[in-house]
Each structure stands twice: as C-alpha cells, then as structure tokens.
Structure 1
Amino acid sequence: MAVTCTTLEQVRENIDRLDRQIVALLAERGSFVSQAARFKKDSDGVKAPQRVEQVINKVRELSHTLGANPDVTEQVYRAMISAFIQQELAEHAALTQPTT
C-alpha cells in the first residue's frame, strides 16, 4: 500500500526505493529467462507468442486485482518481454552453436 507523501522529496524517495526493488526483481526474472533458454529447441520456442499473450492476460488481471492501470502494466510487460526475448535468443544461439 502506498504511503501518502507530504513533499515531492518523499515521493522521489519512495520511487527510488521501489526502483531498487524493481531492478532486483528484473535481475531475478532475467536469471530464470537465462535458464529457460536451455530448455527451448529453437528460436520459435524462445519467441513463444502464445506464452507472451498468456503472460499479458495474466498481468492485466493482476492489475485489476491490485489496483494498477492495466494498460500501463501491459505496455511495461510487452517492453520487458521483448527485451528478455532478445537476451534469451542470444543465449540460446550461444548454447546451440557448435563448438570447434
């Protein structure tokens, strides 16, 4: 639950605190993305558009439940997922390259 701030400085301090938590969660999510690359057979498996839509639907529902703006949540998640797909494609390619 968000606290009610009485100054802009308090607002910024709380945003900074949340940013630290969000980046920590992104790092944790990224480590699972890296692990997922090992289980996927090809780049189509990495891109997994049906899974992307499943995640988007899930987070939109969570947004409604938790009082977040579902459109903002979807935009953030689409950007995040796109970035993680690029990371995973690079990692998947490295895993599947023949060693010389």
Structure 2
Amino acid sequence: MTVACTTLEEVRENIDRLDQHIVTLLAERSQFVSQAAHFKKDTDDVKAPQRVEQVIAKVRALSEVVGANPEVTEQVYRAMIAAFIQQELAEHAALGTAG
C-alpha cells in the first residue's frame, strides 16, 4: 500500500517506519544465517555462488510482481548477501575451532 504524502516530513516518517521493519527483518534473517552455518561442511558451502544466483533471480522476479525496481533490488540483495556471507564465514570458522 502506498501512502500519498503531502510533505517531505511525511515521506521521511514513512521511510523511518519502513526502516524499522527492514532492520527487524534483517535481524530475523541473520538468525537463520547463523543457523545455516551449522549445516555447511566448508567455506565453499557457505559461499554457495549457485545459491546466491538463485536468490537473486527469485528477488528480481518478485520485484517485477510487486512493482519494485529489479536493478535496485538486485544491488541491495547482493550487498546484503555479501555481508551475511562474511558473518556466516566467521561463525562457520568459530564452529570449526569450537568443535
């Protein structure tokens, strides 16, 4: 649902509201990334380039359906995935030294 804003302040308030949701969802996604590290055998499994491309294709298609810009979506997801891969690599390495 798009809200028709009449001022820049309203635009910013709505962006702030969405940022709250986005960061909350990032935290939830992060928890699943942490769990995934337990199921992967090595760093190649963590990096999983084929899986990355599957996710990118999926979110680009979803962007088309919901009216988002697929290029922006892809750039955001590539950055997010790269950051989560770094998190997961660190967690995977810690699991290797812990067990």
* Alignment TM-score, normalising by the size of structure 2: 0.98
Structure 1 stretches of 4+ with a deviation exceeding 6 A read none
What does residue 3 of structure 1 align with? 3
Structure 1 residue runs of 5 or longer lacking an equivalent are none
* Cα drift, residue 97 of structure 1: 1.0
The equivalences for 1:32-47 within 5 A come to 32-47=32-47
Distance 2:93 2:48 in 1: 16
CA distance in 1 between counterparts of 2:46 and 2:63 reads 26
TM-score by length of 1: 0.97
List gaps (5 residues or longer) in structure 2: none
| Correspondence for 1:56 | 56
Partner SS, residue 97 of structure 1? helix
Name the amino acid aligned to 2:95: L
Q: Which amino acid aligns with 1:17?
A: R
Equivalent residue letter for 2:20: R
Q: What secondary structure, in the 3-state scheme, does the structure 1 residue paired with 2:55 have?
A: helix
* Partner SS state of residue 84, structure 2: helix
- The answer for the alignment partner of 2:89 in structure 1 is 89
Residue number in structure 2 paired with 1:26? 26
Matched-pair identity in %:
78
- Return the letter of the residue paired with 1:66: V
1:61-72 matched pairs, under 5 angstroms: 61-72=61-72
Q: Number of paired residues?
A: 99
